[in-house]
């Protein structure tokens, strides 16, 4: 509701019909003019309406100015009284305008804040947490088990010399056992002198050359063979090697260590057995088997109904290996073992095809 300037003008102009104006008449005109303006101010819907309303009442051409002019026609006494009434009316109007302006400002500010508000309650999916690859987890668990049995963990290079990988392990050039390993040679140095290691056994050679006995160590790592990938083979896989060299070490210590490891790693109900085998770097040699983890020993397709699964090879360190690294076989004896980490993970998790371990398919890797 806007105050009507013309209406204010007409109020201001209503002089006494007798021609003699009075303080009382002016005061009445002031009261009549002010009340509707106060109502209009209080009801002003926005700053612009408030400004127009305030100008109509208080501005130079506004209602109160018109009434002010009437003061000139009053006696000095009446003028003072009417002037005070006018001043008080102006103060009231100004205060009302200021109050309404503050209210409208507050409303506008609240609306602006609401429009600008950030919705901090929104939840977005966080970064996906990764996990170690199954082979790495298996390797870590094996290391923990052997460390718990008093072994240290050692590592060697993946690019090896022929001597470390073969010759020092009692496989001189042209030894038939070399044909068991489909070796990948590097085009580096004399022909067939540098290769990707075919097993972790050369780390035994490095350890025995680097430090005097006693030695109690496991050596995990990646090995390479020129194999065509299939459900049970990949050209790169991981092994863990074990080596003990001390005074008075016997085949009984080897069997006991293998069995202690088997029970510690696989839990109760899984045991081990040794069967005669041949490896050039151990004598006597054995293959060690563990209770089939799929059927618990009852016999199933995985273990060909035998109840046993072959895990790896082992044996007493061959005197020729001791000779190659300069350890006196009269003073020291020792045993070694080695097996595939991927194969172990495959058995433990009943993985049908080894190739998934190298495929990097997240649908597989994120299951572990």
The site for ligand DAH (CB under 6 A) is made up of: 199, 201, 241, 279, 282, 312-315, 336-338
Show the tokens assigned to 180. Answer: 């068991």
Nearer to ligand DAH (CB atom), residue 11 or residue 336: 336
Show the tokens assigned to 188. Answer: 């580096």
Burial of 111 (0-12, 13-18, 19+ CB in 10 A): exposed
Nearest to 367 by CA among 34, 359, 218, 324: 359
The angle that helices 23-43 and 5-12 make with each other, rounded to 10 degrees, is 170
Closest approach, Cβ 170 to ligand DAH, in A, equals 11
Closest approach, Cβ 126 to ligand DAH, in A, equals 43
Nearer to ligand DAH (CB atom), residue 33 or residue 261: 261
Closest approach, Cβ 315 to ligand DAH, in A, equals 5
**Distance separating alpha carbons of residues 192 and 172, to the nearest angstrom:** 13
Closest approach, Cβ 233 to ligand DAH, in A, equals 13
Closest approach, Cβ 360 to ligand DAH, in A, equals 25
Side-chain half-sphere exposure of 206, counting CA atoms within 13 A:
20
Show the tokens assigned to 217. Answer: 């160590």
Nearer to ligand DAH (CB atom), residue 138 or residue 282: 282
- Asked if 266 and 290 count as a contact pair (C-beta separation under 8 A), the reply is yes
**Distance separating alpha carbons of residues 309 and 241, to the nearest angstrom:** 18
Nearer to ligand DAH (CB atom), residue 221 or residue 315: 315
Nearer to ligand DAH (CB atom), residue 5 or residue 315: 315
Side-chain half-sphere exposure of 332, counting CA atoms within 13 A:
22
Closest approach, Cβ 277 to ligand DAH, in A, equals 8
Nearer to ligand DAH (CB atom), residue 53 or residue 165: 165
88: left (phi over 0), alpha (psi -120 to 50) or beta: alpha
Closest approach, Cβ 245 to ligand DAH, in A, equals 12
Nearer to ligand DAH (CB atom), residue 266 or residue 279: 279
**Distance separating alpha carbons of residues 60 and 124, to the nearest angstrom:** 60
Task: Tell me which residue has tokens 């056992």.
Answer: 177
């Amino acid at each position: 509701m806007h105050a009507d300037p013309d209406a204010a003008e007409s109020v201001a102009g209503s002089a006494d019909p007798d021609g003699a104006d009075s303080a009382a008449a002016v005061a009445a005109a002031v009261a009549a003019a002010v009340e509707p303006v106060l109502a209009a101010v209080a009801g002003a819907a926005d700053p612009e309406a408030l400004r127009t309303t305030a100008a109509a009442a208080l501005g130079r051409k506004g209602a109160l100015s018109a009434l002010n002019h009437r003061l000139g026609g009053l006696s000095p006494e009446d003028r003072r009284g009417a002037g005070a009434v006018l001043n008080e009316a102006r103060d009231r109007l100004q205060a009302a305008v200021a109050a309404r302006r503050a209210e409208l400002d507050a409303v506008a500010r609240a609306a602006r804040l609401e429009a600008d508000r950030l919705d901090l309650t929104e939840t977005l999916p966080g970064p996906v947490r990764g996990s170690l690859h199954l082979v790495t987890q298996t390797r870590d668990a094996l290391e923990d088990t052997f460390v718990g049995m008093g072994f240290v963990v050692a590592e060697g290079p993946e690019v090896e010399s022929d001597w470390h990988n073969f010759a020092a392990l009692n496989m001189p050039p042209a030894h038939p056992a070399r044909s068991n390993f489909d070796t990948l040679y590097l085009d580096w140095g004399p022909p067939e002198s540098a290769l990707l290691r075919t097993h972790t056994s050369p780390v035994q050679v490095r350890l025995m050359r680097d430090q005097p006995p006693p030695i109690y160590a496991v050596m995990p790592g990646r090995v390479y063979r020129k194999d065509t990938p299939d459900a049970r083979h990949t050209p790169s896989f991981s092994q863990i090697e074990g080596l003990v060299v001390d005074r008075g070490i016997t085949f009984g210590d080897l069997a006991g260590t293998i069995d202690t490891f088997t029970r510690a790693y696989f839990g109760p109900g899984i045991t081990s057995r040794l069967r005669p085998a041949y490896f050039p770097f151990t004598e006597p040699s054995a293959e060690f088997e563990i209770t089939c983890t799929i059927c618990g020993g009852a016999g199933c397709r995985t273990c060909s109904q035998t109840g046993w699964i072959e895990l790896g090879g082992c044996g007493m360190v061959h005197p020729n290996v001791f000779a190659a690294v300069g350890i006196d076989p009269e003073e020291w004896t020792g045993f070694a073992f080695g097996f595939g980490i991927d194969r172990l993970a495959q058995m433990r998790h009943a993985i049908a095809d080894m190739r998934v371990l190298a495929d990097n398919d997240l649908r597989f890797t994120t299951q572990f």
